Amino acid sequence: MAEINWEDPYCGEGNNCFRIGTDTEGNAYIAVAGQEDRPLTDSRDALRTLILEIKAGRADHLL
């Protein structure tokens, strides 16, 4: 497994902190801060699509 380069945690209100990471093989990772050993893994393109869809309001119904 390639080494994951984690970004600093992003924390919303309360204790909900998430980290995003990437590796040199083109994979992207999302994990709860402190649980980086159990990340959600997909391609960087999939992560890019997820972020763009969230920014476009496609997840607003979850708020």
pLDDT, tens only, 31-61:
999 999 999 999 999 999 999 999 999 999 9
CA-to-CA distance for 5 and 35, rounded, in angstroms? 14
DSSP state letters, 43-57? EHHHHHHHHHHHHTT
CB 37 within 8 A of CB 19: no
Token pair 């990772």 in the structure block, residue = 29
pLDDT in tens, 11-24: 877 677 999 999 99
Is the pTM higher than 0.85? The answer reads: no
pLDDT for the residue 60:
94
